[in-house]
Amino acid sequence: MSEPRVVVTGIGWVTGLGHSIDGVWKRLLNAESGMEPTTRFDARTFPTSFAAEVKKDFDFRGFVKDPAVHASAGLNSQFALGACSQAWKQSGLDVKPPKDPRRVGIYLGAGEGVLDFDNYVGTMLHAWDAASGRVDGVKWAACGLAAMQRMKEIEQEPNMPLAHLAREFNCRGPAYNCLTACAASTQAIGEAFSILRRGDADVMIGGGAHTMIHPLGVTGFNRLTALSERKGDPTEASRPFSVDRGGFVMGEGSGMVVLETLEHATARGATPLAEVTGYGSSCDAYRITDIQPEGRGAAVAMLEALRQAGIDPAKRDGKGRPPIHYISAHGTGTKENDSIETKAVKRVFGEMAREIPMSSIKSMMGHLIASAGAVEFITCVLAIRDGMVPPTRNLKNPDPELDLDYVPNRARQARVDTCLSNNFGFGGQNDTLVVTRFRA
Amino acid sequence: MPRQQRRVVITGTGPIAAPGLGIEAIWSALCEGRSGVGPCSIFDASGFSCPFVAQLPPDRFDVRQVVPKSYRKATKVMSRDIELAVGAAHEAVRSAGLVTKAHEPADGRMTVPADRMGCHIGAGLIAAEENELTAALATSRKPDGGFDIAAWGATGMQNLTPLWMLKYLPNMLACHVTICHDCQGPSNTITCGEASALLSIGESMRVIGRGAADACLSGGAESKVNLMAILRQQFAGRLAKAAAGDDPTKTVRPFARDAIGGVAGEGGGILVLEAAESAKARGAAVLAELAGFAATQSFCPDTVGADPCRDGEGISDAMLAALQDAGMKPAEIDAVVPFGCGAPALDAAEAAAIRRVFGDRAASLPLVTLSPLIGNCGAGFGAVAAAVAVQCLQTGMLPARVNGDASLGVDAAPAAARKADLRSILVCTPSLGGQNAAIVLRRVA
């Protein structure tokens, strides 16, 4: 028996460039940057003091049915509710909800919630005994139980955005959250796709939500020297594929998609925006800090996704074009990622790799960490819809070692029928999705 | 309609919890009803509503002893949760008789090729080790003692080791395990609280079923024996109320009329899952068949699921769907391993689900309760439960049960370890957050 086809019927996002599908898309095509000085905490003395934050005009209460139900929502849950409400509405499921909520599932790649930093640090310091170099457990408990708040703590669990979405959209089917660092939401969409293909649900919400723009998040990445510490204009700091790239810039927010079996979408008269045709996942199993230098795992993920989609990477399509018309790169702007990703793409497509436009929207939106994959997947859906490829901003000093077509600085018109979306996580997880123009 | 998928079997188990590493240590504690609950030796926990924890003492587990010599240096960047996962994986691989990269085989050959080996390990919200972090934070204080974020940003953060954050990313459990054993197939880190391990086992089953891997190291691990995790348990209404003078071994009373809550535990487990055909081809001893799996979401009246829905409907949905996936009826199940953490509201929801699925049989269908002895090991709990269920099927024994009673209409009253004819066992864990995962394990002839 053939497996069900899986289509995308709704998309939504909340990002540093805005929180409407077409508003953000327009800004991406204009090569605009969402980066500004950090406001979520006082980062002025940090090595990195800028980020692409979701702006103050985003209020999730304007998106949900009853804000009181989500009164406790932390930032990740707020982003998730805002993004998913857009996707749900576009799918039409808000007007006519699915008949059996047990056939509606969710697979997210959402991050851990934001630490209640002031109270956390206050408690640690209050209980610190410098002489023994230890925190006093009894003092800590007394202070922590008084200072920290119940819901703020519960909301830090990474499955909380999932819980909020399940409640808002009445989903009672398969429910998962995965957290494979920067690959998480690509993996989530891929596994949601696999659940639909196996027939275990009719509709799956897929996506991610994350912010790490908080003192310990920035500390952690600064200590790893993964973030750009560029001085001057923050909009020029994220420089994927440039010779002078120096690390990524944090973004935050959420991307959400509604996936369903074609049969389910057709039966209710929904319009597919695109089709998901392939998903590949692999693990580097190499080192905790480094990517496998030849891009072995990344290439395996791409090849497996292409195989599932029935695409031979060595063969041109019917119109004489390469078999893939756009690659949404992981493209973080770190030295290591951009050069290894380039190697991996060449490994997969050989000489044809140079003909495939490949850009990084992280140059504009920043790196949404666990939710990066979901917003980049959405970019692929829009590239197919509008025949436009978003640019890589700030690519003025190309790296001579990197010789692919990174769509520098200006969006480009192009017929796009098939895209690859790549994400690679710290820890070695590599995930790739194939998104295709829907044809009945 | 689901397509025909490859059958999946379990060929090795590596549970880890308060009684020790490996099924022998855990099984003997369970059969004797020997509790691992007691005062906390890492810090004084008496400021919380429960002064007791279920911790794995250092003399029973040292991660340095289980990693290859060439990997010892990496143990410095392992949080407790990572140590538990690495230990469990080592034991699971040994139990399954696999040769992996960790054995440094002379000819470089692994039993299962690296690209056919996946890894799915559920993880919790890992807490930063408080002494290491606070020692660094304390370098950035204002004259009044408060935290000086400007000093921290400028210089204070340099007191943290550069790799500090990598100890606490949830996917670092799988990262270290995949490096040690060279698993290059699909790998994921599921973070759905107490449902994480069974969701991971289920995902491995699907990955092997669809042919994306031939074997997976699968399970979960978490330590809740730390200040932040205990605080969160107390905030969530799941921590027992007990005094230092109470008998720690009587703290956790699953499904009991006088239940007072749970205790923080640490542990988890890794199981070796293999395609039935590849296990057969290599002549592996099959411990059990993983016959069915399902995942569902409960309706949560409070949205976040700290206050579970008392009717347990999402939990029974998972049980029924896992049975359906196995092509089995409730009447074919001989025992159930529930979460049973001793928090009255959650136990009531689980008991309601068991009564709904099993009807009249619920009162006599044996439950295997673990939490009085090993506490709540969060994302790892389901993996200990699965390993114990496999051992029940292997030995035809049910371990002892302590501290529970029959008041909720389920068979949770104290009992000694006993022989039983066990063909199929259902394991189910609901999470804080409302995710439920269930698996059906079947004895192999």
pLDDT digits (tens, 9 = 90+) for B204-221: 999 999 999 999 999 999
For chain A, what is the mean pLDDT? 97
- Contact yes or no for B232 and A194 at CB 8 A: no
CA distance B175 to chain A (A): 5
For residues B377 and B425, state if they share a domain: yes
Q: What is the spatial distance between Cα B343 and Cα B200, in angstroms, rounded to a whole number?
A: 24
Residues of A in contact with B353 (CB under 8 A): none
pLDDT at A420 over 60: yes
For residues B72 and B148, state if they share a domain: no
The answer to whether position B229 is within a domain reads yes
Distances (CA, A) of B241 to A155, A349, B41, B246, B261: 23, 62, 19, 10, 7
DSSP for residue B59: G
For residues A108 and A148, state if they share a domain: no
- Which two three-digit tokens encode residue A400? 């001579």
Number of compact structural domains in chain B? 2
CA distance B373 to chain A (A): 23
Residue from B155, B238, B297, B259 nearest A45 by CA: B155
The answer to whether position B149 is within a domain reads yes
pLDDT at B307 over 90: no
Mention every residue, 6+ apart, whose C-beta is less than 8 A from residue B96.
B11, B12, B272, B274, B284
- Of B116, B144, B164, the position where a domain reaches its end is B164
Residues of B in contact with A194 (CB under 8 A): 206, 210
The answer to whether position A1 is within a domain reads no
Residue from A160, A207, A179 nearest B434 by CA: A160
pLDDT at B308 over 90: no
What's the pLDDT at B445? 76
Q: Please name the residue of chain B whose CA is at the shortest distance from the CA of residue A181.
A: B171
The answer to whether position B345 is within a domain reads yes
CA distance A433 to chain B (A): 14
One-letter identity of residue A25: W
For residues B151 and B59, state if they share a domain: no
Mean of the pLDDT values across residues B317-321?
Answer: 98
Q: What is the spatial distance between Cα B4 and Cα A198, in angstroms, rounded to a whole number?
A: 9
Residues of B in contact with A425 (CB under 8 A): 171
Residues facing residue B425 across a β-bridge:
B335, B441
State which residues form the domain around A61.
Answer: 6-113+158-436
For residues A206 and A133, state if they share a domain: no
The answer to whether position B2 is within a domain reads no
For residues B205 and B64, state if they share a domain: yes
The answer to whether position B1 is within a domain reads no
pLDDT band with cut points at 50, 70 and 90 for residue B52: very high
Give me the torsion for CA of B285, B286, B287, B289, rounded to 10°.
Answer: 180
Nearest beta carbon to residue A178 from set B162, B190, B230:
B190
- The CATH number of residue A333's host domain is 3.40.47.10
Mean of the pLDDT values across residues B129-152?
Answer: 97
Residue from B45, B42, B25, B43 nearest B34 by CA: B25
Mean of the pLDDT values across residues A388-416?
Answer: 98
CA distance B336 to chain A (A): 21
pLDDT at A169 over 70: yes
- Contact yes or no for B48 and A175 at CB 8 A: no
The answer to whether position B281 is within a domain reads yes
pLDDT digits (tens, 9 = 90+) for A199-209: 999 999 999 99
Residue from B76, B51, B181, B164 nearest B119 by CA: B181
Active site residue ranges of A: 182, 330, 367
Nearest beta carbon to residue A128 from set B134, B234, B235:
B134
For residues A59 and A146, state if they share a domain: no
pLDDT digits (tens, 9 = 90+) for A208-236: 999 999 999 999 999 999 999 999 999 99
Q: What is the pTM of this model?
A: 0.98
For residues B218 and B316, state if they share a domain: yes
For residues B77 and B156, state if they share a domain: no
Residue A267: CB atoms within 10 Å: 11
pLDDT digits (tens, 9 = 90+) for B354-404: 999 999 999 999 999 999 999 999 999 999 999 999 999 999 999 999 999
pLDDT at B332 over 80: yes
For residues B245 and B194, state if they share a domain: yes
The answer to whether position A335 is within a domain reads yes
Assembly ipTM: 0.98
- Of A127, A152, A177, the position where a domain reaches its end is A152
For residues A71 and A193, state if they share a domain: yes
- Contact yes or no for B150 and A153 at CB 8 A: no
Residue A56: CB atoms within 10 Å: 7
Residue from A314, A326, A282, A309 nearest A421 by CA: A326
pLDDT at A1 over 60: no
Q: What is the spatial distance between Cα B246 and Cα B262, in angstroms, rounded to a whole number?
A: 14
For residues B204 and B63, state if they share a domain: yes
For residues B338 and B411, state if they share a domain: yes
Residue B344: CB atoms within 10 Å: 17
Nearest beta carbon to residue B137 from set A121, A150, A286:
A121
Residue from A360, A334, A100 nearest A228 by CA: A334
For residues B312 and B365, state if they share a domain: yes
- Helix spans in B110-161 (H): 130-137, 149-154
State which residues form the domain around B219.
Answer: 8-127+168-442
What's the pLDDT at A289? 87
Most distant CA atoms of chain B, gap in Å: 72
Q: Please name the residue of chain B whose CA is at the shortest distance from the CA of residue A121.
A: B147
The answer to whether position A311 is within a domain reads yes
Residue A349: CB atoms within 10 Å: 24
Nearest beta carbon to residue A124 from set B137, B168, B175:
B137
- Which two three-digit tokens encode residue B49? 């509503």
- The CATH number of residue B23's host domain is 3.40.47.10
The answer to whether position A101 is within a domain reads yes
Mention every residue, 6+ apart, whose C-beta is less than 8 A from residue B46.
A137, A138, A141, B244
pLDDT digits (tens, 9 = 90+) for B223-277: 999 999 999 999 999 999 999 999 999 999 999 999 999 999 999 999 999 999 9
Interface test with B, best of A46, A160, A170, A288 (most B CBs within 10 A): A288
For residues A146 and A234, state if they share a domain: no
Distances (CA, A) of B21 to A414, B139, B382: 58, 38, 16
Number of compact structural domains in chain A? 2
Which of B1-10, B50-59, B300-309, B405-414 has the weakest average pLDDT?
Answer: B1-10
DSSP for residue A248: B
The answer to whether position A213 is within a domain reads yes
For residues A128 and A14, state if they share a domain: no
Three-state SS annotation for B281-308: HCCCCCCEEEEEEEEEECCCCCCCCCCC
For residues B303 and B224, state if they share a domain: yes
Please provide the DSSP assignment of B192-231 as one string.
Answer: -GGGHHHHHHHHHHHHHHTTS-SEEEEEEEEE--SHHHHH
Nearest beta carbon to residue B431 from set A102, A148, A159:
A159
pLDDT digits (tens, 9 = 90+) for A50-80: 999 999 999 999 999 999 999 999 999 999 9
With pLDDT > 90 as the criterion, what percentage of chain A qualifies?
99
Q: What is the spatial distance between Cα A166 and Cα A173, in angstroms, rounded to a whole number?
A: 9
CA distance B362 to chain A (A): 24
For residues A15 and A140, state if they share a domain: no
Mean of the pLDDT values across residues A164-185?
Answer: 98
Residues of A in contact with B48 (CB under 8 A): 141, 145
For residues B141 and B232, state if they share a domain: no
Residues of B in contact with A288 (CB under 8 A): 74, 77, 163, 166, 172, 175-176, 179
Pairing, β B397-398 against β B187-188:
unpaired
pLDDT at B1 over 70: no
Residues of B in contact with A169 (CB under 8 A): none
- Of B144, B164, B184, the position where a domain reaches its end is B164
Mention every residue, 6+ apart, whose C-beta is less than 8 A from residue A6.
A193, A196, A197, A259, A260, A261, A262, A275, A276
Q: What is the spatial distance between Cα B327 and Cα B442, in angstroms, rounded to a whole number?
A: 12
For residues A267 and A374, state if they share a domain: yes
- Which two three-digit tokens encode residue B11? 């060929």
Residue from A174, A170, A251 nearest A213 by CA: A251
Residue from A381, A382, A362 nearest A434 by CA: A381
